[in-house]
Amino acid sequence: MKFSLEHVGGYHFFHEALAVIFNNMPTPWEQREANVYGGLTSIFTTHQLRFWYMSPERLRELIAQVSADQLIFGLDFPYNLEKETHIALETLRDLNLPPGDLDKILGGT
């Protein structure tokens, strides 16, 4: 079963969510796929649902810890409006990730 841990735990449970995602990743010597992913849902703005907000620094740390392979963007559409979706995409692009990583987060995963 695949599971998306939405908001990556939000502001208050980020470290716990990160631990769950990390502990369910395959080790380099295992021949299996991960079954827990971090959902980047509604985490990009402070004006709406601030308790889920994730700063660019925290996003960078998340990607460094679990890689872009474990992250999924867009499961909240069409819940978020166009404005919030644009902010989210701009935030992700501003992280200056390698093109392959951004592609994975935006739909490749």
What are the extents of the domains in the chain? 3-108
Q: What is the pLDDT of residue 97?
A: 94
Q: What is the pLDDT of residue 38?
A: 95
**Which spans in the chain are helix H?**
14-23, 56-66, 82-94, 99-103
Residues of the chain with pLDDT under 70: 76-78
Q: What is the pLDDT of residue 95?
A: 96
Q: What is the pLDDT of residue 23?
A: 93
What tokens appear for 50 in the block?
């601030």
The candidate with the shortest Cα–Cα distance to 95, out of 62, 56, 61, 66, is 56
Q: What is the pLDDT of residue 30?
A: 87
Q: What is the pLDDT of residue 102?
A: 94
Q: What is the pLDDT of residue 109?
A: 72
Q: What is the pLDDT of residue 24?
A: 93
pTM of the model: 0.86
